[in-house]
Amino acid sequence: MAGHTVAFLSEEWVQTISITGLGMLSFLVVGSRLSMPNRHKLLKVLAFFMISITVFGHFFQAMNGNWLVTEELPLHLCGISNLICCVILFVPRKQLLFEFLFYCGIIGGLQALLTPLINNYNGESYIYFQFFFRHGAIIVFPLFMRFLLGMQLQKFSWYQSFLILNVLLLVIMPLNFALGSNYMYLAQPPGVNHVLVMGEWPYYILYWEFFIVALFYGCYFIFKHRGASQSTSFFVS
C-alpha cells in the first residue's frame, strides 16, 4: 500500500505544520475565552468531529478497497489516543483515560507531526487532511482538559501510564505476528528518518522504552502544576 513521508523541515512540512499549529493554537485561544460550560460544549464539538472523521475515514478506505485489517485497526499509539478522545467525554470515570491520553497523545502526536508518515496514501486530499487533523487533535484535547477544564495529573500518573502502555505492547506484539501487521511499529521500525529509531528489531524497541519513560516523566514534571482555577464535577472521576 502506498505511503507518503513528509521530510522534516521540507517546504511541505513547514507549510503543513504551520497550518496545523495555527489551528491547534486557535482552538486553545478560543477555548480560553469561553465560560466553563461553553468550554465543555466546544470540546464536545471537537469530540464529535473526531468521531465523524474516524468513521468516515474507515468508510472512505473501504469504499476505495484500501481497508485492511493489518493497517486500519486503531492499534497504533496515536490511533488509541484518537479513540480515547472520541469516548472520554461520554464515560463516567475519566481520570485514568485522561492521564494515558495526556502522555501518549501529546508525545505520540508530536512525534507523528515531526516526522509524518501517512500510510495508505495515494494522493487523496482527505487522507492527508485526516492525518494532520487527528494528530493535532490528540495533542490539543488533553491540553484543553488539563488547562481549561481543570483536570489534574496524579503524582505517579506518568509511571502508571507507562505500565499500561507496556501491557498494550505485550498484547499488540503477538497480534502483529498473527496478522502480519506492524501496529505500534513493533514488528519493524517505521520508514522515517528519526532520532528515536536506532538499530534493528528488537533493539530499537528497548531504546524506545528508556526514552518513553523519560518523556513521560518530563511531561509530568512540566505540566503537573494546577491548570484552570475552576474545576467541574463533569470531569471528576
Side-chain-side CA neighbours of 61 within 13 Å: the count stands at 21
Per-residue pLDDT, 189: 84
Distance CA 169, CA 80 (A): 12
- Domain of residue 77, residue span: 4-235
Record the pTM: 0.91
The rounded distance, in Å, linking the Cα atoms of 7 and 231 is 41
pLDDT for position 195: 59
pLDDT digit string (tens) for 95-106? Answer: 999 999 999 999
Q: What is the DSSP letter of 5?
A: E
Buried b (16+ CB within 10 A) or exposed e, 154-191: eeebbebbbeebeebbeebbeebeebebbbbbbbebbe
SS3 4: strand
Whether 108 shows a pLDDT value over 60: the answer reads yes
DSSP state of 64: T
Which has more pLDDT, 49 or 123? Answer: 49
Task: Please give the average per-residue pLDDT across 181-188, as a whole number.
Answer: 92
pLDDT at 129 over 60: yes
pLDDT, residue 236, reads 39
Mean pLDDT of 170-185: 94
Query: What three-state secondary structure class fits 117?
Result: strand
Average pLDDT, whole number, for the chain?
A: 89
Q: Per residue in 3-59, pLDDT tens? A: 788 888 899 999 999 999 999 999 999 999 999 999 999 999 999 999 999 999 899
The pLDDT value recorded for residue 151 is 93
pLDDT at residue 65 in the model:
84
Which of the two residues, 224 and 144, has the higher pLDDT score? 144
* pLDDT of residue 235 exceeding 60: no
Overall average pLDDT of the 160-188 stretch:
95
Provide the 3-class DSSP secondary structure of residue 111.
Answer: helix
Residue keyed to cell 528519526: 194
Q: How confident is the model over 79-95, as a mean pLDDT? A: 94
Model confidence band, residue 193 (pLDDT cutoffs 50, 70, 90): low
| β-sheet bridge partners, residue 5 | 117
Which pLDDT band, with edges at 50, 70 and 90, does 228 fall under? very low
- Residues 113, 56: contact at Cβ < 8 Å? no
Looking at the chain, which runs of residues are DSSP E strands?
Answer: 4-5, 117-118
Torsion of CA 88, 42, 101, 217, to 10 degrees: -140
CB count within 10 Å of CB 138 equals 28
Q: Residue 74 — φ and ψ, nearest 5°?
A: -80, 65
Residue 226 banded pLDDT, cuts 50, 70, 90: low
Q: How many domains does the chain have?
A: 1
- State the helix-helix crossing angle for 125-147 and 77-87, rounded to 10 degrees: 60
In this prediction, residue 40 carries a pLDDT of: 96
**Which run of H or E residues covers position 118?**
strand 117-118
